[in-house]
Amino acid sequence: MKESKDYIIIKKIINHCELINDIKTRLNNSEENFNQDDGLACGAKFHLCQIAELTNQLSEEAKTDNPQIPWSPIRKMRDLLMHHYSKQDPKIIWFTIKNDIPYLKDQLLKYLEKNTD
């Protein structure tokens, strides 16, 4: 799998997860700080959108091999962030950053480990 299209895309997604984690660390893992720092919040939202865009490029096989990953909600988050500003709930976005992104990264790392020669 190494250097395959899916491998490269998954590595990019993992990188965006790490960048979101860096932002979370800069916010002292605080939802209050997230809500008060528009710059860092926008940065985190950008990386969430990038993750969703990249998931659209993954093969169906990669997605099928990882049914534990909620592919559809990931894409819906991007739609929400890009097109429905008034419907954005900071609590849901923070929950995603704090809980879902580490889970996504962990699952993708396991998948790479299992599928790399």
DSSP string of 1-21, one letter each residue:
-TTSHHHHHHHHHHHHHHHHH
Per residue, the 3-state secondary structure of 57-80, as one string, reads CCCHHHHHCCCCCCHHHHHHHHHH
Supply 88's token pair: 């954005």
Within 8 A by CB and 6+ apart from 114, the residues are: none
User: pTM of whole model > 0.85?
Assistant: yes
- pLDDT tens-place string over residues 8-56: 999 999 999 999 999 999 999 999 999 999 999 999 999 999 999 999 9
Within 8 A by CB and 6+ apart from 13, the residues are: 51, 54, 55, 104, 108
pLDDT of residue 58: 97
pLDDT of residue 47: 97
